[in-house]
Structure 1
Amino acid sequence: MPGTNPQDHLSSRAKELWLNEPDPGPRSARYAAADTNDADGDAPQPANTRRPVNWVSTLYGYEEFWRENGRSPRENTRNLATLPAEERRKGGWAGYQRKFEERLCRYQIIRLDLSPAFEWDPQENIWQKNFAAYVHHLQRTGNPPYLNGADPVEFALGRWFNRQLRQLQIDAQPKNRADQLAVLLALLSTTGAISHPR
């Protein structure tokens, strides 16, 4: 029954988008079929479907981790001893998808685009979330986040912004981030709420 499995909606949406492509392609068809069949059948799989079934099954495990933990699996951490092997494997799988994107079929790319757990550029995604949180705090309170020890969230946002300003000063920000920061700094200076690095 559709809707009982969290992947059902993602699978049907990916298949719909893929079928609207000018040339859906036979390789993608195997991945679409594996995704549609939930990649968990007990029946022996023909040789040309094993890889798609394994890929979909791994994607489902990756998305399940995200649902259970509220974040995607990590590939690395400062202290690798604290990173469970299973999480590292899942994170490594995602890193492999990013690294070898050109080898993925169109269906795989569409399905990863739709996945709530997967990001093609996790660092950029984190940066954009921090930027949005900073702007939200500014709009909500009328003041930029400061290094306020009483509020760990505000403290983290203030510290994050100060790091971004330092990177901007030494011309180490990518253009898209520098442009976003320039707009924000202009807004801060017109409102008189400019925050200087501490």
Structure 2
Amino acid sequence: MTDSPSRALRADAQLNHDRVLEVAAELFATDGADTSMKSLATAAGVGVGTLYRRFPSREILIEAVYRTETTKLAEAAATLLETMTPITALRTWMGMFVSYMLAKYGMAEALKAVLLDGGELRMETRQRLVDALSLLLTAAEADGSIRTDLPPLRILMGISGIVLIADEFHEAGLTDQLLDLQLDGLRFNAPK
């Protein structure tokens, strides 16, 4: 039995939608949020009309990219724990968070407008990330890999600070060194 044409169209539309968000995240991270909508559409393999039908303004596209990338990062925590030890999953997620933050810098000015207009979006995002990190920390605490006296939001703030520092100094390997240092701090006095 084959799908009806309308189902195939919906599937194609979803593929186009997902591809636009993926390409937009990449281009915003490397070229900034001022990337032209035309070049974004071309890179995504869709027409400009298709892009504007789905995302009528740059701000709507930026918010959609932001939400999508936040969802991917939040959902990655459980996925990582399925295949890695808790401490390895935590370190991997920390690296993913850095990539997420750097992508946000590419669209920082435009995102600032979205977040200032949508305080609820900002709070929702923070809570999703804290919840994801909490899942990882709980697993690492349960197996004795890390200490238990630091709240997830503080750890998230530490990772965010690492991103700011590493972005300022542009030294190869600095981000990884600082993340490893933070992880060593989480291991210090762990119950084992």
Structure of greater Rg? 1
Could you say which TM-score interval applies, normalised by the shorter chain?
0.3 to 0.5
Which one has more relative contact order, counting CA pairs under 8 Å at least 6 apart? 2
Structure with the higher helix share, 1 or 2: 2
